[in-house]
Structure formats: structure tokens, C-alpha cells
Amino acid sequence: MSRSTWSSRAFRHCSASAALAVTAALAVPAAAAAAAPAGGARHAPAPPSRQPVATGYGGAVSTVDPDASRTAIEVLRRGGNAMDAAIAAGATLGVTEPYVSAIGGGGYITYYDARTRRVHAFDGREFAPAAMRADSFVDPATGKALPFDQAVTSGLSVGVPGTLAQWDLALRRFGTRDLRTLLQPAIRVAEKGFVVDQEFRDQTAVNEARFRDIVPTRELFLPGGKLPEVGSVFRNPDLARTYRELAKRGPAWLYKGELGKEVARTVAKPPVDPAASRNVRPGLMKPADLAAYRALPKRPTHVPYRGLDVYGEPPSSSGGSTVGEALNILGNFRLDAKDPVTALHYYLEASKLAYADRGAYVGDPDKVRVPLDELLSQGFARERACLIKPDQAAAAPVAAGSPDGRYAPCVPPGTQTRALAFEGPQTTHLVVADRWGNVVAYNVSIEQFGGSGITVPGRGFLLNNELTDFTLQPPAPGAPADPNLPAPHKRPRSSMAPTIVLKDGRPKLAVGTPGGSTIITTVLQILLNRIDLGMDLPAALAAPRATQRNTPSVFAEQAFIDRYGRDLAARGHRLDPFPGPPQGVIGAATALEVLRPGLVQAVAEPVRRGGGSALVVSPAH
């Protein structure tokens, strides 16, 4: 996809009822809702412009979408806290960003509780059905992993959804509003609709062939058999009804009730058009798998860095461990804002080493041993840091280290490691702060754009393809063990990295991004920009990006290559344009910074993917 394809996001998503208060009376006559088709050709006024930076008091939010940001702000204005606002915004994103965010997926929440001054993590990652085995994605006819596109568009790829269980757990722990209340803004947007822009049309077009082959997906996202027109209003009455029923019945409706049975039936027998030639393989999920699912409260990862405390998501995500290890490595070097090339060289080398260790050691800790404490230890970081030469990039891939507690001053660099596993780059991230000082960083995802491509009939949401984040091909006999092979009720490794940074025990920064395995490097580079290179937060997000994931090439945005390519090439880095998707664009970050007590700056992308939406309750003048 070309860069211009993705630059249209500035025209994205306005609820057709934007002039009405988001959380006002939301009842719509049932007959009218039933009569409104999904999609629709009615044109609406142009959406309001986005703002990438907002500074003020009383609470702040940054998301990729104006409807979601307005939802969060309204919750905050009406006395809800950051957790309430984040979940309400997440539900709205399920309407306006259906190809990346849905109750058919999962995610991770990092939360700072102002009352106790503690950071918490919530793992809502999907897990595999009980019938899943290490070779479930291997074609018995060839002995090789299924072609990736076939693995994605299949019931095999669908993990047991974690989003609703995570919302329930997070609200019970830290919310002040119930789910019924928090779903109302999303119901309104689903009924009234949002304005289709070029990006939504293009995302649909990318999926058009497989969407046409799956009957309920075609009916929902190709209204009248056509791509939705730019400027039309896209409605999702099926999702509105699903949310309304969920508001009455609660998450048990999915995990122990009829909705769960519908999901399991859809996975086991994907609703493919009989005339289609596509082989959409059945999945392994049973209703008992949904009943067995639990979202997990976790102790977040923590590393000190330059007098700050950086908290992130522990495994099953590799986000907190890999960001943390790379920061520990960087902490061994003086980085000077006057010499950004040297700082970026160390950033790329630290990322390279941390990714080698991620691939070797990180998986679902309930199923494999993850040496997390050693991966985040200062001794291991020093051992890894000593491999970095100030004037010469190491040839990648480099070998993983040995986080065994016995650390030599230096170890020889290696050249062998497993290949970087594919990880879909489509998810979304939001941040929220409230008037009391609570902060949420939240990643939610269904994996690919459009997930598995399978819509639950009559329910208005897509199912994820998160199980393709597993290593699909078991290692050959005698090869090193892989911590990320499929297994019953195992969570595939993720890179999602919702990150909160404290200063003197109080929130200073919160940041995260979509981008698959580039999430880690984007979060890391934003922290480098803000903490070491002296940029303010808007500049730190806007700066051009590069990602080094232990691959022979550094993949970078063109502006990064133009600015730093020659100097970094002189140190042995090979820079190539980031292939996407979207082509040439790495991430779509959201972040916030507490400038002083009560005063918060929310920041979204100014340009990437058309920019995001930052809002505050009471703007500073």
C-alpha cells in the first residue's frame, strides 16, 4: 500500500450524531435501528479536523479515532475514572476501527493506581483451544507450515477472545462504572454510524477478496456487494444489538452462554460461501475453551532508567521484557542530544541484542519457563552491552545471550539465531489520565487488518487471527527449543507494549503503539527521543523512525534514511525502507505526559496514518 493511501486518516470517523452528547440518552427506536442497513450510502457532513496535541486539566486522552477520544472525555467529564474511560473508548473503537479492535480479540492494559501509587498489568491475550498442538498449523500433506495467508483466514487462527474478560477484571479491580453504562456510547455510534474515509475504504479493499468469500463478513463490510463509498455513513446495527445484549447479560454471555456457543460454531464451521473456492479451514475451539478462559492480573515489568521507573507488560507479551532489556543495555552508555547518530547507533544495537533474547526465551510463562528476572537484570544487560562497538554495527542476526545469573565481562558475538517470526502489525493503542492521577495505557487487537476475516453471523464483529503469532513450524530435531510453539490453552507471544513511566513515584509518561513486532522499537525510540535526546513529547512522536529486530537490515521510514542513513551506514548499518503495511510508516503511537501536577499533555500522531485524536477535559490557555 502506498504512503498516500494511508495519509487520508485525517478525514476519518465522525459519528453522524457527533453534535449530541456521547453519553446522553441513547435509546433509538428498535424499528429505526432495524431498518438502518450496515454501510449505507447516505452522505453526512465532513468530520471535524483532528488535533494531535492537547494540553489541559481534569483528564486527557489520546487515541487514533475522534469518536473514541470523545467517548473517553465524556466519561471523564461525568465523573468516571481513567479505567472507565479507556474501556468505553475501547468499545467505541470496536465500532469505528473494526478491522483492528473488537470483542473478538484481546489485549493488554497497564494501569497506574494513584491511591496506592502502584502499577498493575492485565493480560487479556487470547489463548489456544485445548485441542491445539505444536503441529496444528502443519499441513500433513507437505510436513510444512500452512502458507501464512491460509493460516490467517481460517478457524485455526482464532484464539479464545480475551477482551471482555479483561474489561470485566479491570473494571472490578479499578473501575467506578459498570459495563452496561460504558457500552452506551459505542452503541450510539454503531447505530448512528461514522463517516467512511479513504483509509476505511482502502482497508476494506485490501480484504475484499476474502471478505467476499465469507458470507456474514461480505454482508457487513461490503454493503450491497460493494466497497463502502468515501463520505457515506457506515452503520453496524448487528454490533449495536450485540453490545445492547452484552450490557444486559455481561461477559458471561460470551464465556458461558449463547454468544460463546455461536463463536465456537463459527470457528468450527466458518460460514464460507459455497460458491467460493477458498479453503477456509475449520478451527478447534469448543464452548469449553471459552468457559476455561481467564484474564490475568500480572505484576508489570520494571526497570530503572535515567532516574525514572519504566513499567510495562510481562509475558505473555514480550513488550515489557524487551523494552526493559534494551533500556538496561542503553543505560550503560552516555547518550548526548548533541550527537544523535551515536545515540541511534546504540539504540539499534541494543534492540538487536534484546530481540535475539526475546526470540530465544519469551513465551507464555504458564507453559514455558521464562527467565524474566534475569532478562531484566543489570548484570545480564552489562554482559550484552559489552558486545556493542561504538563505531561498528554487529552483523545480524546475533545470537541470544545466556541469562543464567553468571555474567562475564564480555562474551563473543555469535551469528546464529532463529528467524524473526511474523507478527501482524495491526492493532491500536490508547492512553487516558484522569483528574485523580490514574493513568491507563491500553493495547487492543484482533491481529491482521480484518483478523481471521470471519464475522460471527448476526453479531457485527470479526474474530481474531492471533494464533498465527505462534511459531507455526516446530523446530527440526536437535534444534533449540522454541518457547512460542502452539499448545493447549497457551497464549501466543505478543509485542504489545503499553508503557507507563514514573518519576518519584508519580506518572510522568505513558506511551504505546500498534505495529506488531515493531511496537517494541517504536516505544523504545520514543523514550530515547524524549529522555535522552531532549525532544518534547510531540516531537518525540513525530520524529522519523527505524526498527532493528535482529535482522540483517534496519528498516526505516524514508525521512529517517534521509536524515541519518549516510552516517549510520558508515558504522555498518544497512538501512532499507520499511515495507509495511502500511508501506513506509512505522507505528501510530499515542502518548501523554504529566507536565506538572494536574496538567497533562495528550499527544497523537500528527501525520502517520492520517494522525490521531488528542483531547483534554479542560484545555489550558
Taking the CA atoms of 144, 474, 513 and 95 in sequence, report the sign of the dihedral they define.
Answer: positive
- Residue 234 three-state SS: strand
Strands (E) in 214-295, as ranges, are 233-234
Q: How far apart are CA 347 and CA 340, in angstroms?
A: 10
What is the spatial distance between Cα 286 and Cα 74, in angstroms, rounded to a whole number? 39
Please say whether the beta carbons of 508 and 502 come within 8 A: yes
Q: Using CA atoms, how far apart are residues 74 and 21, in angstroms rounded to an integer? A: 8
- Residues 377-394 as b or e (16 or more Cβ within 10 Å = b): beebbbbbbebbeeeebb
Separation CA 318–CA 300 (nearest Å): 12
Which residues are annotated as catalytic?
A: 427
Over its C-alpha atoms, the chain yields an Rg (Å, rounded) of 23
Grid cell of 435 as nine digits: 483528574
The DSSP 8-state label assigned to residue 155 in this structure reads: G
What CA–CA distance (Å, rounded) separates 476 from 386?
32
Dump the DSSP string for 165-217.
HHHHHHHHHH-SS-HHHHHHHHHHHHHH-EE--HHHHHHHHHHHHHHHHBHHH
Question: Residues 54, 64, 455, CA angle at the centre, nearest 5°?
Answer: 155
User: Among all chains, which residue has been given the C-alpha cell 480484518?
Assistant: 450
d(CA 354, CA 32): 55
- Cα–Cα distances in Å, from 439 out to 71, 186, 295, 435? 16, 22, 20, 10
Cα distance between residue 464 and residue 422, in whole Å = 16
